[in-house]
Structure 1
């Protein structure tokens, strides 16, 4: 697992547990709209810890292990989080939304505050340290790594490695799901982003005007792929979230689509 190669300064508490952008398989700090609502099945608060990282250059585009690329251009901005191995679920969790609040250490917590973030990255374990001696992201630790812009919404930066509580919530996103089509020839790769509802995706199918529905495989994070000749025909997508709900977007990409383009489809209801 490779560490981020972008110009990121990680604070001392993170130096042993770098975020990574490898294919292991959440704005400007604009949090998702306040109308985000918790699902009854997500309502339980659980204990974890959180640290932060600082970008050396605010223009840096920190992508992440979920494959979203430039998070600012993608609409996620700094309302994002990297998850430890105990939470990351080998990339299945990518796109899920969490609410975090600072607890216990009232010297550093900002009372009455919480933040909403989307899972976009992975914090790799470092087995050169014990899980309670510097290996913050080692199993079985439940650990969140936040941009400092998000961290400072709930705690003072001097807190460092901070006790928090978290819960899964439904994601509410502006606009429809986005499908970014890349690849070459018969290899089609689709990055699916800006997903509302449960946020994380379990299954994807694609259909051309001259094909039936074709199941796509998870390449990494939220990048899905299929080997099929789909050029010169409009593309439709069927996306199933982790809760089993399905949204079908017909003819999202026009007949003359080309690799590198992004198209907007329907959205999950929240």
Structure 2
């Protein structure tokens, strides 16, 4: 845990000034804005339609300081506004599903909220309005990692090109606990374990020929916990299918 002393950061936006003061033990400090529509389209995390039941509207984009080149996708955070007249009481639990891209042409206090090394949450608008008053644009927040609460097992969505069946992409999502997957291994019923490589976000890829084999997966999250989902597909699986494994 980290204690923040009497560090003071002054930020402004449209004549709005607020102070980020000392933080409680176990919490870090950041800023938050909102995104108008995270309901459709593919995000850098690879989750596709964010209106799907697995994540709903309780989502956020992360600045690069938290996004960790896509390995931060799936992590959950408890976020609350503080030390501002724009705050609403309480906190929100959100899952990282998107990337808040930097804007190098603008300074951090005037549009470059997500520029490195800033820690910033681009919250889905309904979540933002739970911690900030209507009309607020940017607010200071405290945040900390939280355990992800999901329904059902981990989802493995298999995709690829039938013309190159040896190249397989697997999107891993709906992960309980730490939420952010750091490593994925795959095994066919007639082959050995193969470590997959991150292609983008929580998309994991292998060039091993696994067609015609039942598939098993090993998933490791940022807390170092590994989970095995053994033989969760039939041997005649095909691209475009999603399979459900075990859960933390």
Partner of 1:167: 144
Question: Shift of residue 63 of structure 1?
Answer: 3.4
Residue 150 to residue 62, structure 1, CA distance change in 2 (3 Å) = farther
Is 2:103 the counterpart of 1:126?
yes
Cα deviation code 1:132-189 (max 9, x no counterpart): 2321111221111011111111111311111111101111211100000001310010
5 Å-filtered alignment, 1:110-125, equals 110-111=88-89, 113-125=90-102
Q: TM-score, normalised by structure 2?
A: 0.86
Select between 67-76 and 121-130 the one with higher mean Cα deviation: 67-76
Q: Is 2:78 aligned against 1:99?
A: yes
Distance 1:77 1:160, change over 3 A: same
Equivalent of 1:138 in 115, 124, 127: 115
TM-score of the superposition, structure 1-length normalised?
0.79
User: Which runs of 5 or more residues in structure 1 are unaligned?
Assistant: 1-12, 14-42
SS at match of 1:252: coil
- Structure 2: runs of 5+ lacking an equivalent: 1-12, 14-24
Q: Superposition pairs for residues 191-210 of structure 1, below 5 Å?
A: 191-210=171-190
Q: How many residues align?
A: 222
Q: Which runs of 4+ in 1 moved over 4 A?
A: none
Q: CA deviation at 1:62?
A: 4.3
Alignment check: 8 A CA contact 1:131 1:140 kept: no
Q: Provide the aligned C-alpha RMSD in A.
A: 1.5
Separation of aligned partners in 1, 2:136 and 2:101 = 22
The answer to whether residue 181 in structure 2 is matched with residue 181 in structure 1 is no
Which has more radius of gyration?
A: 2
Measured in 1, the distance between the counterparts of 2:111 and 2:119 equals: 14
- Distance, in Å, in 2 between the alignment partners of 1:170 and 1:53 is 23
